[in-house]
Amino acid sequence: MKTFRKSFIKKKPLGKASAKETFKESFNKVKLLGKASAKKPLEKASSKAQSAMEYLMTYGWAILIIAVVLGALFELGVFNPMTFAPKAPPGACQVFRPNGPGTTSFINLEGICTGEIPQYVAQFNGQSSEIVESSPAITIGTNYGISFWIYPASFSGYPESIEQRGGVIQDGPPYSTTGQIRVGMWIGGVYEAYSTTTSIEAPLNSWSNIAVTLNGNVLTECVNAVCDTVTVASGTIATTNNPIHIGSWRGISNWLNGRLSNIQLYNTSLSANEIQALYQEGIGGAPIDLQHLVAWWPLNGNANDYSGNGNNGVPTNVIFVSNWYSGYTPP
């Protein structure tokens, strides 16, 4: 009995020590396992970052080139909504005069005349390009109106949009005070006026509708249907059959650097409502007063007169461009 008790007492401390060691070993194992498991996410994150860097190093230049190309295409107007809009081909709409040029009986519009934007506009280089009326036959009295769309690319000198030598039409826009081009007009050396407010200046590198109308000695000049009216000197306007020049002054100077489209010339003054209507029609709009329409140069791929009066133009160093949408917003 004593022998058994002594043996039990001796073995009990050994059992305690063994349990303690076992716990310690288990704890150390858990600790090591915890460290290892905490280490794995860090190793995974590092691996992902390294993979991303390798991807960028491999494909970064390709991504950069694609971004540059997309930016260039955007600047060129490839992603402009106007690129996908319906476009009228050259000569799609014209005035039909069954009794011949100069007549007004039974005239009407024929073709696609629903306001589609043109396929082309005329581009002038600012130094040697113009369009000249081939058969001078236009004479206008003290009442007339003109409407056209212009995209001035730069200002230099006194660029002309349309003028008639020694006679009735000489329309700028010739003045610039703030880096913009201002509408103006000289008529036959007798009447002379230009806008005096900056509210009707046509900005550079943007499409604007210009409408100018003369009623006696009252001259109204408008940009996008915002108008300035001035009273000009009285006198008699000399009539002339000299050719009309588009984009220059007599083919000598004042060259236009920019683009033109949809020039409409009337032998009557335009009302405020008509000027507003011409602007709202947009760059592809048809003439609104066929009875008084003298000439209509859409400049959609050629310099022909589609008024039915045969006042065709002859272009010199003029390019008809199809990618013209930049800077144009439909009214």
For the segment 127-160, what is each residue's pLDDT rounded down to a tens digit? 888 988 877 667 666 788 889 999 988 776 656 6
Would you tell me how many other CB atoms lie within 10 Å of the CB of residue 313? 26
CA 281 to CA 194: how far, in whole Å? 25
Average pLDDT (294-301) is 95
Pick from 138, 181, 178: nearest CA to 159: 181
CA–CA distance, 215 with 207 (Å, rounded to integer): 26
Residue 172 has pLDDT above 50, yes or no: no
Q: Do residues 264 and 270 make contact, with C-beta atoms less than 8 angstroms apart?
A: no
Highest mean pLDDT pick, 1-15, 33-47, 218-232: 218-232
- What string of H, E and C letters represents the secondary structure of 41-104? HHHHHHHHHHHHHHHHHHHHHHHHHHHHHHHHHHHCCCCCHHHHCCEECCCCEEEECCCCCCCC
What are the backbone angles phi and psi of residue 318, rounded to the nearest 5°? Answer: -105, 135
Distance CA 266, CA 95 (A): 14
CA dihedral of 107, 112, 117, 120, whole degrees rounded to 10? -90
pLDDT in tens, 71-93: 666 565 556 666 777 889 999 99
Please state the length of the chain.
331
The vertex-309 CA angle with 214 and 253, nearest 5°, equals 60
CA distance 240 to 303: 22
Decide which of 233 and 312 is more confident: 312
| Tens digits of residue pLDDT in 89-107 | 999 999 999 999 989 999 9
Q: Where are the domains of the chain?
A: 1-75, 89-321
Q: How much is the pLDDT for 187?
A: 47
What pLDDT shows up at residue 250? 66
Tracing tokens 């002859």 back to the chain, one arrives at: 314
CATH architecture of 89-321: Sandwich (2.60)
The residue that leads in pLDDT, 257 or 282, is 282
Distances in Å between the alpha carbon of 28 and those of 24, 38, 51, 139, 188? 6, 15, 35, 109, 107
Nearest to 227 by CA among 215, 238, 236, 244: 215
Among 110, 109, 102, which Cα is nearest to 289's? 109
What is the percent of the chain where pLDDT is above 90? 34
pLDDT, tens digit, 9 for 90 and up, residues 219-245:
788 889 998 887 765 544 445 567 778
Write down the pLDDT at residue 212: 85
Residue 166 has pLDDT above 50, yes or no: no
User: Which one is predicted more confidently, 50 or 220?
Assistant: 220
Task: Write down the mean pLDDT value for the chain.
Answer: 75
Number of CB atoms found within 10 A of residue 210's CB: 26
